[in-house]
Structure 1
Amino acid sequence: MSAVFDLDKQKIKTSFGNASLSYDSAARLQQQVGLHLLNQYAEKGLSGKVLDVGCGTGFLTERLLQFASLETIIALDIAEPMLHRARLRLADHSRVAYVCADAESLPFMEQQFDSIVSNLALQWCNLNSETFSRFKKLVKPGGQLIFSTFGPQTLSELKLAWEAVDDYRHVNDFAVQDDLFQALTQAGSKKIQIETVIYKSAYESVLELMAELKFLGAHNVARDRKRRLTTKAELRKLLAAYPKTSEEPGIFATFEVIYVVVSF
């Protein structure tokens, strides 16, 4: 079964555009995962022309510049305000070019890139065989797709708490590892390496967690989400239902990160 979700792409574009100024202050996990992605899975180095899908404010793009043999980086994002922040961050680097586009509709020629890299951005796409087939066409023979994405345990505590409030979907769905493997296999991948890591992030309160998600632009983008504001009574019910830890004050949130390296 492929990972196909009913995503509101205009909502994604607007949410991340609005979060462009606050994103870096809240992106602790995103930066940690991005560094792990490069340090552990790009150890052989990257060269030639690389596409950074979902570059955001340019954190990973800047780290990609450490590879001296990398000739050009195309930094791509669906939100123009994010690209603007990336341009400001990387103004002194001539090896970077910028493209505003949807990762599921990439405006490039076939075999244009030596590798494609993406850090915690592809969860905003339908990760099915069609999407991966399009990525494969863009990469030269022998090239790689290296990415991280969220798995289904992500924000499981928040999802459980919302279930005590109403029947709407408040937390986005994320791809299952087996589904990713199947979709990549169907797309004709020659070699697939997948690792799952569970991160536990601590917060003083549920409200702090929800504020961070807002700062990141990581809103619920499913089309069947609730369209009205949460009432005070619903919020109190949510806070009461969120799983507590007896050992320490505050709360924890689970983030399941799937790291994937694909050879074409």
Structure 2
Amino acid sequence: MSEPHHIDKTLVRAAFSRAAPTYDRAAVLQKEVASRLVERLDFVKLSPQRIYDLGCGTGRVSAALRERYPAAEVVALDFALPMLQAAQRRSPGLAAVCGDLEALPLAGHSAELILSNLTLQWCLDLEGSLRGLLRVARPGGLLMFTTFGPDTLRELRAAWAQVDGRSHVNAFTDLHDVGDALMRAGWAEPVVDQQTFTLTYDEVSGLMRDLKEMGAHNVTAGRAHGLTGRARLRAMADAYERFRSDGRLPATYEVVYGHAWATDGASAARPDEPATYPLDRLRRAIRTG
């Protein structure tokens, strides 16, 4: 029997495929996080020949990378074909690969820079996925990514908990566990930090609509099957009301940022080795990487 929070990747692919036409309209947070991720490249002295944008979605990061590194080949990968097609419409001529980040159809040691914006949370095996990323990185290459932390949608999770014992919100990995996974996977000098964002809504129905339009609604094994009844949705909305502040309902997102370097002979670290650093060390750590 599947764990309640186990992700059904068939549902994930189908959800993002359906959401491709509406994704950009709803993905306000994703747009902001993508911009901040790309801005962190300002502190990196790197002249990549090939760049991978893994989990490219509608191609916002890919387009920014092509502008920043005009001499490099940017390759966009997503496992939802409609998302890839949207990325190519945004950035004509973009090299695109339809594939899964957990089973990369990419050559080993083939890219100097790998970016992934808000995609790793959909992987069933985080450490295994990070090993796969290391396989395709050239020695001296840089990995930069974002993913969601466990405080993401905490209000929605708490509201549903007042209604039933089912899984209604996807589970997310703690910052410290992300850092440990990087080290065990063999990445060198990993740095992780986090930021909290809060979106606000008039009603919880606005949040639910945005999640659906982004393809980010519940895809866990423990979800309720079939349509959710109006009475239960009303009960959840009533429970969510205790979070209302200044007339608005908050939706919290914890975003984990990470980067690490690929080196010759990078070895797995012991689980008890430190894997996190204060945010104020980020710039110095990247410059000396």
TM-score by length of 2: 0.85
**1:189 and 1:263 in contact (8 A); partners too:** yes
Deviation beyond 4 Å, 4+ runs, structure 1: none
* Residues 81-113 of structure 1: CA deviation (Å, up to 9, x unaligned): 11111111112xx4x200111110111111011
Structure-to-structure mapping, 1:216-255, within 5 angstroms: 216-245=214-243, 247-255=245-253
Alignment-mate amino acid for residue 77 of structure 2: L
Q: Structure 1's 103 and 42: CA in aligned 2 closer, same or farther, altered over 3 A?
A: farther
Number of equivalenced pairs: 257
Partners of 1:140 and 1:231 in 2: CA distance: 51
* Residues 22-45 of structure 1: CA deviation (Å, up to 9, x unaligned): 000011100100100111245325
How much has 1:128 moved relative to structure 2? 2.9
How much has 1:68 moved relative to structure 2? 3.0
Q: Structure 1's 215 and 259: CA in aligned 2 closer, same or farther, altered over 3 A?
A: same
Alignment-mate amino acid for residue 11 of structure 1: L
Partners of 1:173 and 1:187 in 2: CA distance: 21
Greater CA deviation, 61-70 or 161-170? Answer: 61-70
Partner of 2:75: 74
Partner of 2:26: 26
Structure-to-structure mapping, 1:102-181, within 5 angstroms: 102-181=100-179
Q: State the percentage of identical aligned residues.
A: 36
**2:102 and 2:128 in contact (8 A); partners too:** no
Partners of 1:167 and 1:122 in 2: CA distance: 26
Structure 2 residue matching 1:260: 3-state secondary structure = strand
Alignment-mate amino acid for residue 144 of structure 2: I
**1:18 and 1:217 in contact (8 A); partners too:** yes
TM-score by length of 1: 0.93
RMSD: 1.5
Q: Unpaired segments of 5 or more residues in structure 2?
A: 263-289
Partners of 2:41 and 2:99 in 1: CA distance: 26
**2:37 and 2:146 in contact (8 A); partners too:** yes
**2:128 and 2:185 in contact (8 A); partners too:** yes
How much has 1:126 moved relative to structure 2? 2.9
Structure 2 residue matching 1:242: 3-state secondary structure = helix
Partners of 1:243 and 1:150 in 2: CA distance: 24
Partner of 1:85: 86
Structure 1 residue matching 2:228: 3-state secondary structure = coil
Structure-to-structure mapping, 1:92-103, within 5 angstroms: 94=93, 96-103=94-101
Greater CA deviation, 181-190 or 253-262? Answer: 181-190
Q: Of Structure 1 and Structure 2, which has the larger fraction of its residues in helix?
A: 2
Partner of 2:43: 43
**2:151 and 2:252 in contact (8 A); partners too:** yes
Partners of 1:84 and 1:247 in 2: CA distance: 40
Q: Unpaired segments of 5 or more residues in structure 1?
A: none
